[in-house]
């Protein structure tokens, strides 16, 4: 099937996924039409990430979490109980009703009075959930990376355009002062003409290789797999929200994209943002030799160079300009240019959580018609950047990317990996 035919199929499937319902005042984003201006939110995926986001956002006056869904009953019950307790605390005591719970996200989308959804599932579930919610007339906050494949990302953007709803990608570093300051300084020419960026994140995706374990009670593993390829249950993929361990599904190409998409969706995103390239991306990808997991080099069409390698500062970006360098991460920003950055530029000076600020951007877009910090097209282009990096590591061949046609021009095997085949075994290299 050609790339264009695959895109046409995704678009037609999305159009048929649900009826576009007449929007309420809130779904239409009409300012001032409600005395309370409260957004009723349903949460899809109630694991550790969703719990963390809820804990930060539940007290915001614009938000009310009214429904929740998960295929793992233990996670769902824990989330609902926690939400009821938190809302009771906010009310000053007394009994508060817990969010209505669902095991099927499609039923949650039908929840009466719902205005928006927060999607915090594994990456391979994002696309259909986003599209179904948008076609239902709901606003969407979707965790990064926006999509698991490039074709899915474009289908999400098309659904946003079709619906007229708000979508915020959860790349919350765009709402973090450290990175905002880095963008301001670099775009102002404070380190001279920008030459290159080194992005320090972890390894690319790998093939699923875990032994089968018994599926725990209350886990609907078939629904967890969803649109991906069938793999056996293993506790590290879905350890439960009470576990200290973060779920490891993101390491495997069947469900995620390794650290290339997990942290790359943050750090490559900063490169895109700083350079004003939110509607495009690198056009040349040169993988390292052998089985090296670092060393991929990428170029934009203007010659700007990006290298994936660690430089001893954790997950961070090192920008190189003609007059100096600037390093930025969640915990620091510093520069070789004397006096360029100071204490007030660091993340330590933030009085409000970046997650709260990112939600505020989402809520303001719904209620006031302002722009979100990371819209669908931006999230799609960053996740495409990450996915192409994974494909280059996988095939170990140089790739030439056309960001307008969204196709690889020099490798048919790479083009096949823009869609569902991306989820298949990495052992076959063409």
What are the tens digits of pLDDT across the range 332-390?
Answer: 999 999 999 986 776 555 678 899 999 999 999 999 999 999 999 999 999 999 999 99
Residue 14 has pLDDT above 50, yes or no: no
Query: What are the structure tokens assigned to 308, written together?
Result: 């994936």
Give the model's pLDDT for residue 91: 82
Q: Is 197 helix (H, G, I), strand (E, B) or coil?
A: strand
List the CATH code of the domain at 174-205+258-350+382-423: 3.30.360
Give the model's pLDDT for residue 26: 38
Cα 206 from Cα 320, distance rounded (Å): 31
Cα 413 from Cα 204, distance rounded (Å): 18
Residue 3 has pLDDT above 90, yes or no: no
Cα 117 from Cα 123, distance rounded (Å): 16
Cα 77 from Cα 90, distance rounded (Å): 20
With a CB cutoff of 8 Å and minimum separation 6, the contacts of 226 are 124, 125, 128
Cα 170 from Cα 368, distance rounded (Å): 20
pLDDT band of 32, cuts 50, 70, 90: very low
Reported in sequence order, the residue ranges of 89-226 that DSSP labels E, i.e. its strands, are 100-102, 116-119, 139-142, 167-169, 194-200
Q: Tell me 312's DSSP state.
A: S
Q: How deeply is 119 buried, as exposed, middle or buried, from its count of CB atoms within 10 A (0-12, 13-18, 19+)? A: buried
Give the model's pLDDT for residue 28: 38
Q: What is the mean pLDDT of residues 237-252?
A: 88
Q: How many CB atoms lie within 10 A of CB 155?
A: 23
Residue 396 has pLDDT above 70, yes or no: yes
Can you name the residues that pair with 318 across neighbouring β-strands?
Answer: 198, 327
Q: What is the mean pLDDT of residues 91-100?
A: 79
Residue 233 has pLDDT above 50, yes or no: yes
Q: Is 20 helix (H, G, I), strand (E, B) or coil?
A: coil
Residue 36 has pLDDT above 70, yes or no: no
Residue 11 has pLDDT above 50, yes or no: no
Residue appearing with tokens 């390093």: 327
**In this predicted model, which residue has the larger pLDDT, 245 or 93?**
245
Cα 365 from Cα 29, distance rounded (Å): 8
Q: What is the mean pLDDT of residues 35-50?
A: 89
In 3D, which of 204, 203, 184, 202 has the Cα closest to residue 319?
184
Can you name the residues that pair with 198 across neighbouring β-strands?
Answer: 307, 318
Q: Which CATH number fits domain 3-172+355-376: 3.40.47.10, 1.10.3720.10, 3.40.50.720, 3.40.50.360?
A: 3.40.50.720
Spell out the domain ranges in the chain. 3-172+355-376, 174-205+258-350+382-423
For 118-144, what is each residue's pLDDT tens digit? 999 999 999 999 999 999 999 999 999
Average pLDDT along the chain: 90
Q: How far, in whole angstroms, is CA 173 from its chain's centroid?
A: 11
Sign of the dihedral through C-alpha 409, 374, 100, 239: positive
Q: What is the mean pLDDT of residues 53-73?
A: 96
Q: pLDDT over 90 for what percent of the chain?
A: 82
Give the model's pLDDT for residue 347: 57
Residue 33 has pLDDT above 60, yes or no: no
């Amino acid at each position: 099937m050609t790339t264009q035919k695959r895109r046409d199929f995704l678009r037609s499937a999305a159009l048929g996924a649900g009826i576009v319902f007449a929007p309420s005042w809130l779904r239409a984003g009409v300012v001032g039409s409600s005395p309370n201006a409260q957004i009723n939110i349903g949460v899809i995926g109630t694991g550790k990430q969703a719990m963390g986001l809820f804990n930060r956002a539940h007290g915001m006056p614009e938000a009310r979490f009214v429904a929740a869904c998960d295929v793992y009953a233990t996670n769902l019950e824990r989330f609902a109980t926690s939400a009821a307790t938190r809302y009771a605390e906010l009310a000053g005591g007394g009994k508060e009703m817990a969010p209505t719970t669902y095991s099927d996200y499609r039923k949650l989308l039908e929840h009466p009075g719902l205005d928006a959804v927060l999607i915090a599932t594994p990456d391979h579930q994002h696309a259909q959930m986003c599209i179904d919610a948008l076609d239902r007339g709901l606003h969407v906050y979707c965790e990064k990376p926006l999509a698991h494949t490039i074709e899915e990302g474009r289908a999400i953007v098309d659904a946003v355009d079709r619906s007229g709803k708000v979508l915020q990608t959860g790349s919350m570093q765009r709402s973090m002062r450290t990175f905002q300051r880095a963008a301001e300084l670099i775009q102002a020419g404070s380190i001279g003409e920008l030459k290159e960026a080194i992005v320090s994140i972890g390894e690319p995706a790998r093939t699923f290789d875990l032994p089968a374990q018994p599926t725990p009670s209350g886990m609907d593993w078939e629904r967890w797999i969803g649109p991906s390829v069938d793999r056996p249950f293993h506790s590290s993929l879905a350890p439960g929200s009470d576990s200290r361990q973060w779920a490891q599904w993101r390491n495997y190409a069947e469900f995620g994209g390794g650290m290339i998409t997990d942290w790359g969706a943050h750090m490559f995103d900063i490169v895109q943002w700083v350079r004003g390239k939110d509607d495009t991306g690198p056009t040349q990808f040169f993988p390292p030799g052998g089985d090296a997991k670092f060393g991929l080099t990428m170029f934009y069409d203007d010659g700007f160079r990006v290298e994936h390698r660690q430089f001893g500062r954790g997950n961070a970006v090192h920008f190189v300009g003609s007059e100096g360098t600037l390093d930025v991460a969640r915990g620091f920003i510093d520069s070789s240019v004397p006096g360029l950055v100071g204490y007030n530029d660091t993340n330590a000076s933030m009085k409000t959580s970046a997650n709260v600020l990112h939600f505020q951007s989402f809520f303001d877009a719904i209620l006031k018609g302002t722009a979100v910090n990371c819209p669908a097209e931006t999230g799609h282009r960053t996740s495409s950047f990450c996915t192409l990096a994974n494909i280059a590591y996988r095939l170990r061949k140089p790739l030439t990317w056309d960001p307008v046609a969204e196709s690889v021009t020099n490798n048919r095997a790479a083009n096949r990996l823009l869609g569902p085949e991306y989820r298949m075994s990495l052992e076959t290299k063409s």
